[in-house]
Every structure is written in structure tokens, then in C-alpha cells.
Amino acid sequence: MNAVPESKIRLSYKLKHDDFSLDVDASLPADGITGVFGRSGAGKTTLLRLIAGLDSPDEGVLEIGGDTLQDSDEGFSMAVHRRRIGYVFQEPRLFPHLDVRGNLQYGFKRARGKRGFEFDAVVDLMDLTSLLPRRTAKLSGGEAQRVAIARALLSSPRLLLMDEPVVALDADRKAEVLPFILKAAETLHVPVLYVSHNIDEVCQLCDQLLVIDAGQSIAAGELQDVLVRTDIPVLAGEEAGAVIVARVRQYDANYGLSRLITSAGPMWVRGEYAPDTEVRVRLRANDVSICRQAPTDTSILNMLPARVIRIKPETKSSVLVHLQAADDQVVARITRKSSDELKLEADDEVIAQIKSVSVRNV
């Protein structure tokens, strides 16, 4: 991208309560969507509230793109309304005494002189034109959250914080909101910190990942690199897996499959994706298995040649095998018995069989 070196978010926060302590130190790119991932109660919301200035830390430093917003050593903490940090909460928190237009204009009016986007452009992007005269009580959950996101964007934030904005929505509503988040971040170039404890959501949306556990930042970096860190407990669970980037070659209308090209070879995925676009493919460790030789009669379509990086014992019955498939890293969860019988060792050349994949347009 066109990220200049100083367009970084540097944050360092310390906070101690009776039963909870937070100590987070991170430097994140002020660009794209950064997932803040961790279990419930890990301190993700606490961190966002500190960044927004809604709560005060014991010690805290916050710099965005070279501007200092907080520095407790200097006794400096910019007021919430001057930080220009947008916040989308778990619940929409729309103002019931204003209609949708009034809600959207609330932040827009107050950003006069610092506006980054046109009112109509954002309304259009979030597909809210027909909702403008609506009362907020008459909105569905998904619509209300879309209004809340647009309202935050219209205040022209230099950083947008999103605290599990779709956690209260059912799967259909979720699918209705997530693409708008992606679209907004990409079209409007607003850096987003996206809090979630749902790895699927993170894989769909985020470019960068910051992992928080028990109030500590334990990993940060590119999504692909951090996701395969199975030494981190929250990333080694049932949902463990990898994400790789692929390019769409063609759509087979007969079978309803799209053919993708990954660095390690071709793959088939269900559904139609536009040719020559980039897509992100999520390979869950539970869906990846390993063969010594490519099997001939199998229902599995996707096989990538790979090299074993290391084998990590997991439970009494299972191991996690880290594989290098050309430029990409893949993780397979297989039984310890299979691993022993195949006599798997580091540097072995194997075939990774992939049962199912989930895909998102980049």
C-alpha cells in the first residue's frame, strides 16, 4: 500500500484493578483492519475504552500517525471529543430522539473543518439512503448497527474502534453487516481496530492481528503469520488453522466451483468468485490431512504438495503439523497414531489434503 513510515499507531497502556490488570504495548499500522483477538474477559473492551479516552489508565501513551493523544508521563490526555477516534459499540447506541439522518449528522456536524468524506458518499456506501427518514426504533438489528458504523465514519475519525459490533446479531444479520465493514475500511481508508473473540470473523476482516490474553498483548503481526502460532493457546483450539491468499482463475458453472491458484498449486472452492480477483482462503487445521503419496481415488479435490516444518504434540491423541506449502503456511491436525504410522518428521515432503475451505473476497 502507500503507508508512510510514520503512519503507525503506537499504544502502551497499564491499568490495575483489584482483580484485573492490563499491560498492553503494541505498534500497529494505521492502515487496514487490525483484529484485537482474545477470549472474553481478556481485556479487549478495556483496551478500546482506554484508547477512546472513555476510561483513564494508570499509565498510558497513545500516538497515531505522529500525533500524541495521550502521554501520562507528561500528564497529558486529550479529551474524548478531541481525539477523533470513532467507536462502534456492541450495541448500536443510536439516539432515540433523532431519526437515522439526525443520528448520522450528529458526528458529521461536529467534524466541521476536519471532514474526510461527503455525507452522501458514506450514506451511499453503507446503503442507508432509504433508511434516512426512519425512526431508530424501527430498524432491524443489522440496519441499526450499519447506521452506527456510518455515524462513526461520518465523524471523520483518524481511527475507528469496533467492539464486537456483530456479536449481538444472528448469522444472517452478521453476514449483512460484515461486508460493509470491509468496504468502509477499504474505500474510506480509515484504520480500524476490530475486537472479536470469533476467529472466523477475524479471518474474514482483518489484515493484522493483535492477540490479547489475560490483559497482556502476546502476539502481533500479519494475520497469516500470527494465525499459525499454535504456541498461543487461544489460537490452538478447535478453530486453529491458517489463512492463505489465492487468485481466482475461473468459474466452473457446471459444478458450481471456482478454481483458485495458490502459491503451492491450484484449488477448487465452492461458489462463484470473479476471475482474477484475490480471495482469502481459510484452512482449518481440522480440515487438513496428510498423505505420503497423492491418493488416486479420493473425493477430496484439493491437494497441495508441502514440506513438514515441525510436529507439535497437542493432546494424548492429536498433533498439530505445521506445513510449508510453497509461500504459505498451513496447519494440519492429525491423530498421534497417524503421525507415528506415517513416521512423520520435519523436512518430509508430503501432500496436504484439504477437505473444506472458507473463502472471502479480499
Partner 1 sequence: MNFSAGELGPLWLSVQLGAVTTVLLLLIATPLAWWLATTRSPVKPVMQAIVALPIVLPPTVLGFYLLILLGPYGAVGSWWVQASGDTLTFSFLGLVIASCVYSLPFAVQPLAAAFESIGRQPVEAARTLGASRFNAFLSVAVPMAAPGFLGASVLSFAHTLGEFGVVLMVGGNIPGETRVISIAIFDHVEALDYASAHRLSALLLVFAFVVLLLMFVVNRRMTRV
Binding site for partner 1 (CB under 8 A): 52, 54, 79-81, 84-87, 89, 91, 93, 95-97, 106-107, 110-111, 135, 137, 151-152, 155
User: Residue 217 and residue 196: Cα distance in Å, rounded?
Assistant: 14
Q: Which is nearer to partner 1, 45 or 339 (CB)?
A: 45
> Which cell is 123 given?
450514506
Q: How far is the CB of 94 from partner 1 (least distance, A)?
A: 8
Q: Which is nearer to partner 1, 34 or 156 (CB)?
A: 156
> Which cell is 70 given?
495521550
Q: How far is the CB of 318 from partner 1 (least distance, A)?
A: 44
Q: How far is the CB of 97 from partner 1 (least distance, A)?
A: 4
Pairing of strands 21-29, 76-77: unpaired
The helix/strand/coil state of 170 is coil
Torsion 170-172-177-182 (CA) sign: positive
Nearest to 193 by CA among 62, 74, 79: 62
Task: Please provide the DSSP assignment of 44-110 as one string.
Answer: HHHHHHHHHTSS--SEEEEEETTEEEEEGGGTEE--GGGS-EEEE-SS----TTSBHHHHHHHHHHH
| CB within 8 Å of 31: residues ≥ 6 apart | 1, 3, 7, 189, 191
Q: How far is the CB of 184 from partner 1 (least distance, A)?
A: 16
Q: How far is the CB of 135 from partner 1 (least distance, A)?
A: 7
Contact between residue 144 and residue 166 where contact means Cβ atoms under 8 Å apart: no
Q: Which is nearer to partner 1, 81 or 292 (CB)?
A: 81
Q: Which is nearer to partner 1, 112 or 343 (CB)?
A: 112
Q: How far is the CB of 108 from partner 1 (least distance, A)?
A: 9
Q: Which is nearer to partner 1, 56 or 361 (CB)?
A: 56
Q: Which is nearer to partner 1, 29 or 102 (CB)?
A: 102
